[in-house]
A and B are shown apart, each in its own frame.
Chain A
C-alpha cells in the first residue's frame, strides 16, 4: 500500500457477529467505510475495488476482541475523526476500537501478525485437571495432525505454541488460554487442539483476544 494515507483500524468482532465469515466481514467493513464517506482509495482496472487489507481470517463462530484492517485514504483526516465516523455507521459488534496511521512501508497485517492469543471457554463441566493433563500429554507427544478439505497438516507443537497453555476455572466454566504462532501452513485452531487433547468434541466458545507482531522476539500490538 502506497500513494495515500494508510489508516490502521482495530475493531471487535463479537456477539452474534462472530458468525460472520471472513468474506462477510470484509464486505461489511467496506460498506461501513462507504457509509462513513471516507475518502477511500480505489484500485485501478476493470473492476475498481476499495484498497483495504485485513489481518489473518477468523473462523466462522470465533469472536475477536482486537481485529485489524488497513484502509488506504486519498486524503488525510485525523484518525480519531475517522474512528468516530466509522463508529457511527457500524454495528456495535463490529465497532472500531482505535484508529491510527501507519507507515506505507510497514509489512501487511497478514504478514506481520504472527502471534494470536485465544480464550477458549469450555462448557459442559469438564474438570480443569482433566483438561490440563490432556493438554500436557498432547504437548509431550510433540505434534498434532489435522485434516482439512482433504489435506493433512502436521503442526510441531513446540513451534506452534510459544507459551504453555493456561487452564483457569471459575464456577460454571473452564477457560483455556492459548498463544499460537501462525506459520506458513496456517494457524493451529484452538478448538482442534482441545478436541484432539480430549479425544472428543466439547462445546466451547472461542475468542481471539489479541493479535501480535513478533518483532525479533519482542511481541507488540500492531497499533
Chain B
C-alpha cells in the first residue's frame, strides 16, 4: 500500500480549496488493515460528490463487511489535476491517500451523461486503462451504477460491469463474487463472467452485436438484464454517521431518504419510471434515522429526500414528531421536491416552524393541454391555490421549473408559460402584505426536454437547437417584464445529453475522442464546448443531429432493449398514445394499478406506510 499523502500535501498550498483533498472529516472510516479495498468515486468535484446519497448508502453497506475498506474518490478540480499530472502523482483515495489503481474495485456513480468525460479523465489519472478490454489482472474491477446506467451502452466499453437499479444488496454480492472468484484462482475474464450472475449486473463484454442491431448475450449471461430492486427500504437503516464535510458542499446537510420511486407518471421523467415501485419508509424509521444522523453528524439541517416527499403518506406525522424533537436547537427540517398537488397549508405550517427556505414547484408546461400530454396532473387553479397558501403562510421565494421542446408542444403552449407566471406573480402579491411585496422573488428556470430511455417518450427525438432558440424567444416575449427572474438551462448541453442518452455503444468512441481533445467537467458551463464535441462526433463518423433529434420507429430495436427496467413495452407505448391524445393516467399509489408491469416483472410491490390521500 503506497501512501501518497506527502506528495499530495506538497501540492496543496497552491491548490484552490485544499480541504477537498485532505480527508480527516468527522465520520470518515479508516481501515488500514483491510483485506479488500473498494474505491467509490463520484465523477465530479468533492463539493458535488459529497452531496450524493447513494455513495453514503453504499459506503454504509460496505462498512458492514469487517475486512473491507471503502474509500472515497472525487475528481480533482482542473488546477489540482494539472498539478498531480505534472508531479506524476496518480488519482488517490481520500481515506488512505492510496493510488486508486491499488484498490480491488473501483465503483463509479453514473449521475448523468455530462459526467462521462470526467470518468475517462479519472481513469486516466489513476493509470487504469480506459477500456475494460485493455485491463489486466492487477487493475481494479471498474463497476458503474446510477441513474444513467439505464442506457449503459454509450459507456459500456469503459466498464467491467454496470449495476442496473438499487445497490443496497448488489454491492455486497459483487464484492463477494469478486473475492470468491479470486479465491478460486481464476483470471480476469472468468472473474468478470462471475459478476454477470449477480442479479441486476450487466457485463458489457458478454454482449455482442447480433442481427438487426440487437445485442446478443453470450453463454452464462442473461439475455436481458433485469433491474435490481430492493423490496423494502425499512430493512436498511439510513446512514447514521455519514462523513461530515468541512468544505461547503452542495446540499450540506443530513439526509434521510423517506421513500423511493414515484408513480405520478410524468411521461418525460426517467426517474419516475425506473425507480418504481413506490416504497415508503415507515415514520418510525424515518424519525429514528433522522435523529440518529443529526446526533452523529451535528448538521444544522435535516432533509427528507425522495422524488416526491410530500407524497409520503405519513409526512405530516413525521414533521410533527421531528419538530418536537428539534425544538430550540435551531436545526431546520427541509423537504425538497414538493409537488404542487401535494403541498398543503398544514404542510406549509409544519415546515414554517424552522427556517423558510424557498419553495420549488415544477409545472413543466404552461398550458393545460400540454400538462395533460406529459401527464403532469396539476391544474392552474391548484397551482394558484398553492401559491396563495404558501405566500399567505409567509413564504416569499418561489422557483418554477418549465421545459421547452416537449412532444406535441406548440408556440402557443410556450407563450402560456409566460401568462401562467404572470398569474402566479399576481396571486403571490394578492396574499402578501403591501409592505412585504418587495421581498417577493419568483424565479423561472427553463430547461430543454431530453428524451430518455425507459419512458413513454423514449422514441421521441429532441427539438432541434434552432427550434429551442425560437421557443426561447417566444417565451421571453410572453414573460411578465417585472418581478420575475428568468434563467435558461444551457440548450447546447441538453443537445449533447440527448445525443449521448439516446446512443448505443458506438457513442463510446465519441466520448473518448471528446475527452482526448480536452473535454471534462462538461456539466460546468465554463468548461463545456459544443464545438469540441461536434469535432468528436465528426471524427467518429456519427451525425450529432441525427443522434439527438431523429425519432426511433416504435418497432425499432432501441439501444437499451437488453436492459429490462420492468416496465412493459406495451405500457410505455400506450402512454405515448395517450400523450398524443392529451389523456392523463392516474397514480397507482392513490388508486388502481395502471399496468406498468414493474411489480409482477420484478416481483416487487408497493410499500406504503399508510393510506395516501389525493
Interface residue ranges, A against B (CB under 8 Å)? 15-17, 19-21, 23-24, 27-28, 30-35, 37, 42, 46-50, 60-61, 89-91, 93
Contacts and interface: CB of A to CB of B under 8 A. Distances in A.
Contacts of B298: 30-35, 89
B23 A24 contact: no
Contact of B24 (A16, A32, A49, A60): A16
Contacts of A89: 26, 298
A114 to B, nearest CB: 27
B24 A35 contact: no
Contacts of A16: 9, 22-24
B22 A27 contact: no
A42 B329 contact: yes
Given A28-B246, A31-B297, A32-B298, A17 B330 contact: no
Contact of A35 (B12, B18, B295, B328): B295
Contacts of B296: 35
B419 interface: no
A203 B25 CA distance: 26
Contacts of A27: 246, 248
Contacts of A93: 24
Contacts of A23: 248
A42 B26 contact: no
Contacts of A31: 26, 244, 297-300
A30 B297 CA distance: 11
A44 B331 CA distance: 13
Contacts of B24: 15-17, 91, 93
A178 B356 CA distance: 48
Interface string B286-327: 000000001111111000000000000000000000000000
Interface of B: 9, 12-13, 17-19, 22-26, 244, 246-248, 294-300, 328-331, 355-356
A23 B246 CA distance: 9
Given A35-B297, A48-B355, 6 more contacts: A16-B22, A19-B19, A23-B248, A27-B246, A28-B26, A28-B244
A140 B276 CA distance: 76
Contacts of A91: 24-26
Given A34-B300, A35-B298, A48-B330, A24 B248 contact: yes
A84 B19 CA distance: 26
A193 to B, nearest CB: 17
Given A42-B330, A46-B355, A35 B26 contact: yes
A70 B584 CA distance: 59
Contacts of B26: 28, 31-32, 35, 89-91
Given A31-B298, A91-B24, A19 B355 contact: no
15 contacts: A15-B24, A16-B9, A19-B22, A21-B19, A24-B247, A27-B246, A27-B248, A31-B298, A42-B329, A46-B355, A48-B330, A49-B330, A50-B330, A90-B26, A93-B24
B415 to A, nearest CB: 37
A35 B329 CA distance: 12
Contact of A61 (B12, B25, B329): B12
Nearest to A205: B13
A23 B249 CA distance: 12
Given A19-B22, A31-B26, A42 B244 contact: no
A28 B300 CA distance: 11
Nearest to A21: B19
B474 to A, nearest CB: 39
A46 B356 contact: yes
Contacts of B356: 46
A61 B16 CA distance: 11
A221 B585 CA distance: 71
Contacts of B297: 31, 35
Contacts of B246: 17, 20, 24, 27-28
A195 to B, nearest CB: 13
A35 B25 CA distance: 14
A61 B13 CA distance: 6
A74 to B, nearest CB: 9
A19 B5 CA distance: 14
Interface centre among B18, B330, B331 (most CB of A within 10 A): B330
Contacts of B25: 91
Contacts of A35: 26, 295-298
Nearest to B328: A42
Nearest to A28: B246
Contacts of B12: 19, 61
Contacts of A90: 26
A42 B329 CA distance: 7
B507 to A, nearest CB: 39
Contacts of B244: 28, 31
Nearest to B26: A91
7 smallest CB-CB distances across A and B, nearest first, come from A31-B298, A34-B298, A35-B298, A48-B330, A19-B18, A42-B330, A16-B22
A167 to B, nearest CB: 22
Contacts of A20: 19, 246
A91 B247 CA distance: 15
Contacts of A61: 12-13, 18
Contacts of B295: 35, 37
A60 B298 CA distance: 23
Contacts of A33: 298
A75 to B, nearest CB: 12
Nearest to B8: A16
B185 to A, nearest CB: 40
Contacts of A47: 355
B9 to A, nearest CB: 8
Interface centre among B24, B25, B246, B356 (most CB of A within 10 A): B246
B382 to A, nearest CB: 29
B50 to A, nearest CB: 13
Contacts of B13: 61
B300 A30 contact: yes
A21 B329 CA distance: 25
A34 B23 CA distance: 21
Nearest to A48: B330
A24 B330 contact: no
A23 B252 CA distance: 13
Contacts of A30: 298, 300
Contacts of B355: 46-48
Contacts of A60: 18
Contact of B22 (A17, A28, A32, A50): A17
A48 B329 CA distance: 9
B303 to A, nearest CB: 16
A61 B25 CA distance: 16
Nearest to B354: A48
A17 B21 CA distance: 11
A4 to B, nearest CB: 13
Contacts of B247: 24
B359 to A, nearest CB: 16
Contacts of B22: 16-17, 19
A172 to B, nearest CB: 15
A170 to B, nearest CB: 20
Nearest to B246: A24
A19 B294 CA distance: 25
A61 B579 CA distance: 58
A197 B19 CA distance: 30
A15 B18 CA distance: 13
B87 to A, nearest CB: 14
Given A31-B299, A33-B298, A34-B300, A24 B328 contact: no
A93 B28 CA distance: 14
